[in-house]
Structure 1
Amino acid sequence: MSGPPGIESAPPPVLMRFWWRLREPFPDPQNHVKLHRRLNPRSGERVLQIVPKHVAVYWPLPAAIVASLGALLVLMVHWTSPLAQLFWYLSLGVVAMAAVRAYIEWRDVFVVTNWRVVRLSGVLTSRVATMPINRILDMTMTRPLLGRLVGYGHFVFESAAQEQGLREIKFVPDILAVDRQINNAVNKENRRREQMMSSRRRPDDDDGDEERTEPIRGL
């Protein structure tokens, strides 16, 4: 229920806001508030592709779980051994660290629009890094051997301002399709800017032609 007119409702508690922050819809940031604040749909900006991390980036978590199960088997055989118990506790700590790392990678999303590239990252501290498409001077694509086998690669962007948050984008799935999407967006943006510049120059050129063709008085 809404309160009386002129009185704003109280903000939600800190724990509730923290829970909402953890449950933010990644890797599909359709409802991500900070992303939509950066976009400008009224001027024609639209999302072309949303690129989450490749599943290969999560390999430490299943590896840690398998190691933890092995430690559990050792502990079941040598239940009274302090070394086996220590090994079990250490394996649980490794699983917890791998789970936190996987969650951080899950929240790292790369978004391509027709005007810019955006990177969403961060858990407790949200970070949104943006770079206009027309400021991309060079783009290097790297596909390691394992990436060619399972389908991922890395991007290195060279721009005029060298935005640190967008210089390296790692573990990009289907990187060839993403590369084509970015190149098409860059070409379309360059053509759009050329058309805008030519439309701005055209009235000046017409005025100049009229001045040159104006008859000279006194002749």
Structure 2
Amino acid sequence: MTNQPHDSTQDAPTTDAGARVVDSLGGTSGMIRTAIPVVVFVVANAVWTLPVAIGAAVIVALGLTIHRVRGGESIAAASGGLVGVLAAGAVAAMSGSASGYFLLGIWTSLVAGVVVLASVVIRRPVTGLLWNALHGNRYAWRRNSSVRRAHDIATLTFAVLFGARYLVQDWLYDTDATGWLAVAKIAMGAPLFAVAVLVTVWAFRRSTTHFVR
């Protein structure tokens, strides 16, 4: 019901999955790429006007995208940051407020937090679904209380992360603290996400220990 005959080729998905999730952070360079447009936006807005700040952030994000494409990344992978900056800039332009630049991310955190928390409540934690999908959905992992508990913990870690992002940044948005919003966005971005990823890798390994042997 729980264990399957060992197949060494089945070990790869979990190992590769952990590596892919960690790599998705982009390492130190990825964190820097994420932070640069935010810093440029805040500084430009303080020195000039909102339209100039939006344009400066977009230009910098475009430059970073071109640099990544020339470095060998696909356009789809490299343009994610640019799309985010364009969307954030559009919201800021429509709201007429520099704080609006962060509004899309604030509401995204709220929605993500609700979704991952709901997955735990209905006993289908997101990280467990992902692990099983990477293994062809062949394991009855939810019947193993130890494995399910590990994925509950991993998924709840993301729920806490997204919830904290929303609460802190929404409060800063309400007080129109644009500079502190930038600090919170950077500090609560990749560094905290890395912690959640480490917990997820732990849950993946526990699942593999029980099922892929």
What range is the shorter-chain TM-score in?
under 0.3
Higher relative contact order (CA 8 A, sep 6+): 2
Q: Output the TM-score relative to the length of structure 1.
A: 0.25
Greater gyration radius: 1
Write 1 or 2 for the structure with the bigger share of strand: 1
Write 1 or 2 for the structure with the bigger share of helix: 2
